[in-house]
Amino acid sequence: MKRIQSSNRLVQWIDDRLPIFSYADSNVIAYPTPKNLSYWWNYGSIAGIVLVIMLVTGIFLAMNYQPHADVAFASVERIVRDVNYGWLLRYLHMNGASMFFIVVYIHMFRGLYFGSYKAPREILWMVGVTIYVAMMATAFMGYVLPWGQMSFWGATVITNLFSAIPLIGDYIVTWIWGGFSVDVPTINRFFVWHYLLPMILVMLVVVHLWALHVHKSSNPLGIDIKTPQDMMPFHPFYTIKDLYGLGLFMIFFMYFVFFQPNFFGEADNYIPANPMVTPPHIMPEWYFLPFYAILRAVPDKLGGVVVMFAGVLILYVLPWLDTSRVRSATFRPIYKQLFWIFLADCIYLGYLGSQPAEGANLWLGRAATLYYFLHFMVLMPLVGKLEKPKPLPSSIFEEVSKKCRAKED
């Protein structure tokens, strides 16, 4: 870390003892960033800001929420009706969860397309996958807290996944519930986890950024930074670019908050939890749908659970499944096609997850699930070896200059 020299004596005095100004300078201000980042590189910072919005709205919601099965539903309704701006806090938080997943999914698929997970950024990627898993756990438990019908039955179904574990499954589920069904102890502990996990998420984000700042951001060309000419300072160039992207994103986010606050929700969750009646169509939140489709594709209880978790966990070994040394799909003619097919497969799985699992859907779900794993376990290792990549540009600087000259002409 380069120590700054400030003309302000107070700044200098503090910095000599606790180098926060030098730290900020090295990591945010002068931080060298590749010159050629596209708007696909905005989503990391947007995800960070959504996390902050979720934390702040969540903390203020928690000041009025009561995690007890008897009053949880009513306390959420009270937040919406009686608490000053409670409706705004809740709708920001509810839609914020969906926004968080939209942004993180774009961020992840960006990584998939441009090979951001490849050496030397494997651990950066794996920390990212851990963040994603923690997000899913947090979102699931948050969805349980309003204690509507979907909350209750979602909690029942998801916790019952663990009953598939041989021999001790039933004990595990009882242990998770703190009783013999989803009830008072369950909502109490879910509230605690829902408050605790985001704090762990923040720490994981710090580790993610730490790993990021070792080898810096990848870039659309997927080639290494070679000279200082390949880079420019983060501030003001990328702070402004990130702010602009954030502005556009916030317009999108606020549209839902103010005009379609229940767009991503389920009407049934406005019916208080009833342990005696399951709603006719129970469905997880949209961001879990692809994995829900995978779960249902396997006609075996334990098998379905294992395959579903494998669908998430396979991302951890992605850096070793991809055998190509070229990062960006721009220079990989075959992988580029496969990327789009894979994206379509994920979206299709999500669609199937929202449909009743019967008739043709059952077989289509199995085909889409098979392709999901085929992509990772067969196509990625094979294509990396067989495909002939296009020649890579020699440097970021050269490519950026070429583009600038083309624009001037």
Partner 1 sequence: MTDNPTNTPEDMDGPRRDFLLISTTALGVAGVAMAAWPFIHSINPAKDVLALASTEVDLSSIEVGMAITVMWRGKPVFIRHRTAKEIEAAEAVDLSELRDPETDADRVQKTQWLVNIGVCTHLGCIPSGQSVGDKRGDFDGWFCPCHGSHYDTSGRIRKGPAPFNLPVPPYVFTDETMIVIG
Which is closer to partner 1, CB of 64 or CB of 174? 64
Tokens of 37: 């980042």
385 binds partner 1 (CB under 8 A): no
- Establish whether 118 is a catalytic residue: no
Q: Which residues contact 57 (CB under 8 A, 6 or more apart)?
A: 89, 90, 92, 93, 96
Strand partners, 196: none
Question: Pairing relation of β-strands 231-233 and 32-34?
Answer: antiparallel
Question: 84-143: which residues touch partner 1 (CB under 8 A)?
Answer: 84-86, 88-89
258 binds partner 1 (CB under 8 A): no
Choose which of 16, 70, 82, 300 interacts with partner 1 (CB under 8 A). 82
83 binds partner 1 (CB under 8 A): yes
The residue assigned the tokens 């179904």 is 157
H-run or E-run covering 88: helix 86-114
- Establish whether 217 is a catalytic residue: yes
300 binds partner 1 (CB under 8 A): no
Which residue in 35, 68, 213, 216 is the catalytic one? 213
Report whether 395 contacts 226 (CB < 8 A).
yes
| Rounded CA separation 86/92 (Å) | 10
| Three-state SS at 19 | coil
Which residue in 26, 75, 98, 217 is the catalytic one? 217
Size of the site for partner 1 (CB under 8 A): 14
80 binds partner 1 (CB under 8 A): no
- Shortest Å, Cβ 55 to partner 1: 12
257 binds partner 1 (CB under 8 A): no
Tokens of 4: 């700054």
58 binds partner 1 (CB under 8 A): no
- Establish whether 181 is a catalytic residue: no
252 binds partner 1 (CB under 8 A): no
Which residue in 230, 242, 322, 345 is the catalytic one? 242
235 binds partner 1 (CB under 8 A): no
64 binds partner 1 (CB under 8 A): yes
- Establish whether 241 is a catalytic residue: yes
- Establish whether 242 is a catalytic residue: yes
Q: Look at the alpha carbons of 141, 144, 150, 155 in this order and tell me if their dihedral is positive or negative.
A: positive
Cis amide linkage into residue 120, ω under 30° from 0 = yes
x/- string (CB under 8 A) for partner 1, residues 160-179?
--------------------
Choose which of 31, 43, 60, 143 interacts with partner 1 (CB under 8 A). 60
Count CB atoms within 10 A of the CB of residue 2.
8
Strand partners, 272: 148
* Phi and psi at residue 391, to the nearest 5°: -65, 140
Q: Active-site positions?
A: 213, 217, 241-242, 285
Interface residue list for partner 1 (CB under 8 A): 56-57, 60, 63-64, 78, 81-86, 88-89
